[in-house]
Amino acid sequence: MRPHCGAGAVMLQAGGDPAVAQGHKMDFTPTEEQTAIFDMAREFGAERIAPHARAWEAEGTIPKELWRELAGLGFGGLYVSEGAGGSGLSRLDATLVFEALAMACPSVSAFLSIHNMCAAMLDRHAADDLKERFLPQALSMDCLFSYCLTEPGSGSDAAALSTRAERTNAGWRLVGTKAFISGGGYSDAYIVMARSGGDGPRGISAFVVPDGAPGLSFGGLEDKMGWRSQPTRQVQFDGCDIPAGNLLGEEGRGFAYAMAGLDGGRLNIAACSLGAAQAALDATLAYMGERKAFGKTLTALQALQFRLADMEIELQAARVFLRQAASKLDQGAPDATKHCAMAKKFVTEAGSRIADQCLQLHGGYGYLADYGIEKIVRDLRVHQILEGTNEIMRLIVARDMLAGH
């Protein structure tokens, strides 16, 4: 079953909203198609991911067969165009998939987001030959992709990256190291940002590096707080040779491609926080309805009812904020980047607060792995760091606010 949903999917009449005055309708009530997409992803997660999430975390890897099953649902190219064989979903539609899958495991859902970001870059920017060589396998998820931007010495200052790409008679030679790469040594190919020109963003190009390329190697497995089912390693290029045709898009445009992909990536990570926080809250409601203290169930205690209400209010506010930002990105609104940054900051922090409160309401049991809450707390913590730290999100917002003042 492959989901299909047009890009103009979610519209809401909102009288008095400035977005409406600018011609942007907004309706965040899911359509029947969107509900079907969400339900399909949630059911798959409940059946095929949630029962195994702890075991995969302990093993430090996700079985590759799972990705092929997800590809069978059309999830290997969620926003790859239908003409190229993808599902052609809007960015808002795609956030529903990541939210639903994160209810089963944020680590699995987030890795799918990374692969989809790479598949979309191939669809939008790759020359025909490169696209033909890699995109069909990306859509079937027989070729898993990782995204290589961050370096050991340039985290938030991504434009200062130092990995070099030098022309050779046969193509390109890459020299440098990427850090914190989800899927390092596990994925089948890597989209790598490297400096092919001078300093600054315009000197950066993007390249496709297949696993097994000469000069490609990996650091040791990182021992992480969360996302433990995703293997994370440094990716090292020691005179790594690739064909000339593995340049992705135009030379010098790599950083622009990377940044364009990050707007959607930020929405996806926010959606992962949202889904996991929802799962934590659902589990907490069930637990409190059964657990008794002082002769009453926990749900009968008004002080705890108020805490539940506060979490629900924050969760619903986060959901609307995320969907508004996704709608703006789909519409190409001029303030889409600002809203993606705001949503990423707000939703990831809200998700972590809610998960932490859910652990507290479980008492000592929340600290035990059997109840699943502590894993959510650990998995969500990194969401405030990756795809641009939340400090960088504040910087993006502040710069937009101050522009012209």
Catalytic residue numbers? 387
Sign of the alpha-carbon torsion through 42, 362, 229, 194: positive
Place of tokens 């070729």: 143
Structure letter (DSSP) for residue 252: T
Measured at the alpha carbon of residue 114, what is the angle toward residues 176 and 350, in degrees to the nearest 5? 115
Place of tokens 């904020």: 321
Between CA 194 and CA 223 the distance in angstroms is: 26
Q: DSSP of 328-355, one letter per residue? A: HHHHT-TTHHHHHHHHHHHHHHHHHHHH
By the 8 A CB rule, do 206 and 121 touch? yes
By the 8 A CB rule, do 164 and 174 touch? yes
Residue 21, number of CB atoms within 10 A of its CB? 8
By the 8 A CB rule, do 246 and 208 touch? yes
Between CA 6 and CA 34 the distance in angstroms is: 10
The tokens for 402 are 């101050």
Between CA 297 and CA 310 the distance in angstroms is: 19
By the 8 A CB rule, do 208 and 189 touch? yes
The tokens for 242 are 């690739």
By the 8 A CB rule, do 120 and 249 touch? no
